[in-house]
Amino acid sequence: MRSFWTSRAHPSYQTRIYPALTSFADECTATLARLLAYVGTLALVAMLGIHLWDQLPVDGSNEPPAKASWSLADRSHPAFAVSQSEFPDKTETYEIFRHPLGGRRDIMRWTGQGEKPVAELEIYRPGDEFSQSGPAFADLAARMEASGARELEAAGVIDSKFGTVTLLRRPGEGGSCLGFLKRLDDPDLQISGWSCPGDGLPAQRAAVGCMLNRLILLTAGNDPKLAELFARAELRRTNCAAASPAAPSADWVTSAGNPFLRGAL
């Protein structure tokens, strides 16, 4: 038989223990809910990160550079011109190509009957893509004739308002088109091209020299060094008559009669 005091204490004990258990259960439920919310948030962040990672562009640094990266810049304005062109009866075209890494190529071509090019002049201002480009001589050989040889041999040098210019031609073709190449470091600039008109090598040399001497700058954009280069070059500009075939040269290096002495390039 339970005592009086035990019977009186039992309801009070139950009154104290039930709220404590209820409070503990509620706390566990709230903690579990917060833990589930935290884990769900982490999972959502992880899923979002994976999605963004998949959207990143693939790194193409290991892929070989392609010339297709050059694109025609239709909205760019010509920066150069050839005054009093040596080809008045030819059709002249002017194209500008830009590279995503900053390079720019201004290309002038003259075509005759049958739309076959007879001369070309390119002014190349390199960007960061220059280290990826191939040898300049191979590029010039391909431009002179896409199906022709990829090698050129020296054909002497000529003097121009830009200094000494290297002349080149395909091996064994003394009477064919004559290429030329001039590399400048300050500003970073490359002038190259080729010319076919002319009866014999002396006439072709004179045509190339005249083309370079008549090359003028229309706009330098934001490149003061380019403007300074052409300003100084104009001070050294000579009359095309001085580069005619009738003007003999005492220097064997510039002589058209000894083009093979410099070897193939």
The residues, ordered by sequence, that sit 6+ positions from 93 with a Cβ below 8 Å of its Cβ are 108, 109, 111
Average pLDDT rounded to a whole number, residues 55-68: 53
Is the pLDDT at 36 greater than 80? The verdict is: yes
Is the pLDDT at 195 greater than 60? The verdict is: yes
Average pLDDT rounded to a whole number, residues 62-73: 66
CA torsion 263-126-211-97 (nearest 10°) is 120
Strand order across the 91-98 sheet: 71-72, 91-98, 104-111, 117-125, 189-195, 178-184, 163-169, 153-160
CA quadruple 237, 80, 98, 149: dihedral sign? negative
Cut 0.85: pTM above it? no
Q: What value does the mean pLDDT of the chain take?
A: 79
Looking at residue 46, its pLDDT comes to 86
Is the pLDDT at 65 greater than 70? The verdict is: no
Q: Which two tokens stand for residue 1?
A: 């038989």
Average pLDDT rounded to a whole number, residues 3-12: 52
Residue ranges per domain, the chain? 8-55, 72-245
Is the pLDDT at 205 greater than 60? The verdict is: yes
Looking at residue 47, its pLDDT comes to 85
Q: What are phi and psi of 204, to 5 degrees?
A: -70, -40
